[in-house]
A and B are shown apart, each in its own frame.
Chain A
């Protein structure tokens, strides 16, 4: 059996932005896969076996081989299912730029986003929101220089950085809803606002992007279960 024909499973959960990255990449390549949803609050045997190091989703299981970490999964998908559309840019420099920004988002920007809900007091919350805003300003400028007038970071088509960044849009909207503040909109980040619309409407994204209302419901459940501070 050729690499591309082996069975594909994805361990995940609908609210996770990281799982979303894998699903978008699989959709872009028209890969048929079985989506195995983890139950919130518990971890399946398969998950514990496939990702013993982190015990986290997403995990892509291709044949009998588990691939972990969302961005690594996206690169794996692009390499294995190598016919167009390409997910990574073709030029090494553009790839380096895309990987740079994806690393920035995961290592600097997302931790701030994750911490907002659990912030202790107004001061901390304000500082985190400011960090998010500054990050979005950076991404706005990156969008203009990387897209070069085209709709996506990947140019005419959705690419690696679109997926890496776009997966966070749902939760960003949740934060906006809870805080009453706009972070990504036509006034503050006009380029990104347009990009976000185009991204969410894309064929590979629309069927799997969680609705903001459902995420808000889910966030409320999470907060109710969170231990008191």
Chain B
């Protein structure tokens, strides 16, 4: 039986990756201690718990560290009962994982390049690549119900939240445009369902705070020559 003792989450407010871990924990009703990390002054606990990447989120369960946001989500799903996150059917489980990898490998890296690469040409290239990837996502992905796999927030909904909430803010801050609900009505409709879910709402950082943060980041990149 899983215990709710000693569950800590090392995070950074505003991180979409930390939000994934929080969402999984909240969906399962797990009590946890949130420890805010500083990006510029990483704690000993963080460096010890994630020596390979030195990044958040890190979930500490009974002092054992679990790293990588999607690995954490799977761990939470397997450790605590109630509200299944991954589909039980093997094929739909594979599809959820497939699309989450697509988002991580094909959508987000070009988005980050479009947003923060110091070279303007690279940023333009990034935006092109992001648009291509989003086109494929919109074309090939099939939403089976209110959420990706039915009536409740699941693995791919959690993975895709970064596109639904963070990408519009990042693109506004960095003055490029690759995604909108109007441009991709299927993704847009799905995103509305996800963003309106009460548990999801509870993990979303305030939009204006994120926008300021990303604008400042973009300015510092553009201004440093």
A1 at interface by CB-CB < 8 Å: no
A79, B93: Cβ atoms closer than 8 Å: yes
- A-B contact sample (15 more), CB < 8 A, given A93-B66, A96-B75: A53-B136, A69-B98, A72-B97, A72-B101, A73-B94, A76-B90, A92-B78, A93-B61, A93-B75, A96-B74, A99-B68, A99-B71, A99-B74, A103-B71, A104-B52
Taking the closest CB of chain B, its distance from the CB of A158, in whole angstroms, is 21
Tell me whether A75 and B102 are in contact in the complex, defined as CB-CB below 8 angstroms, given that A93-B75, A104-B52 are known contacts: no
B residues near A3, Cβ cutoff 8 Å: 90
Of residues B61, B72, B97, which shows the largest number of chain A Cβ atoms within 10 Å of its Cβ?
B97
CA distance A52 to B66 in the complex (A): 33
In the complex formed, the residue of A with least CB distance to B75 is A96
A95, B140: Cβ atoms closer than 8 Å: no
Taking the closest CB of chain B, its distance from the CB of A56, in whole angstroms, is 12
Question: Which residues of chain B in 46-79 are interfacial with respect to chain A, using CB atoms and an 8 Å cutoff?
Answer: 52, 61, 64, 66-68, 71-72, 74-75, 78-79
In the complex formed, the residue of B with least CB distance to A51 is B98
A53, B140: Cβ atoms closer than 8 Å: yes
A residues near B67, Cβ cutoff 8 Å: 100
B residues near A73, Cβ cutoff 8 Å: 94
Residues of B contacting A: mostly: helix
A residues near B90, Cβ cutoff 8 Å: 3, 76, 79-80
Interface mask (B74-99 → A, CB under 8 Å = 1, otherwise 0): 11001100000000001101100110
* A interface bracket (residues with beta carbon within 8 Å of B): 20 to 34
A-B pairs, 4 with minimum CB distance: A92-B78, A96-B75, A79-B90, A96-B66
A204 at interface by CB-CB < 8 Å: no
Which of A68, A80, A96 touches B72 (beta carbons < 8 Å)? A96
Number of interface residues of B (CB under 8 A): 22
Of residues A65, A73, A93, which shows the largest number of chain B Cβ atoms within 10 Å of its Cβ?
A93
Taking the closest CB of chain B, its distance from the CB of A169, in whole angstroms, is 21
CA distance A72 to B155 in the complex (A): 14
A95, B136: Cβ atoms closer than 8 Å: no
CA distance A6 to B74 in the complex (A): 28
Of residues A3, A76, A99, which shows the largest number of chain B Cβ atoms within 10 Å of its Cβ?
A99
B91, A65: Cβ atoms closer than 8 Å: yes
A92, B75: Cβ atoms closer than 8 Å: yes
A residues near B68, Cβ cutoff 8 Å: 99-100, 103
A residues near B71, Cβ cutoff 8 Å: 96, 99-100, 103
In the complex formed, the residue of A with least CB distance to B92 is A65
A93, B140: Cβ atoms closer than 8 Å: no
27 A-B pairs with C-beta separation under 8 A: A52-B140, A53-B136, A65-B91, A67-B91, A67-B98, A69-B101, A72-B94, A72-B97, A72-B101, A73-B94, A76-B90, A76-B91, A76-B93, A76-B94, A79-B90, A80-B90, A92-B78, A93-B61, A93-B64, A93-B66, A95-B78, A96-B71, A96-B75, A99-B74, A100-B67, A104-B52, A138-B52
Tell me whether A69 and B72 are in contact in the complex, defined as CB-CB below 8 angstroms, given that A79-B90, A95-B78 are known contacts: no
B residues near A95, Cβ cutoff 8 Å: 74-75, 78
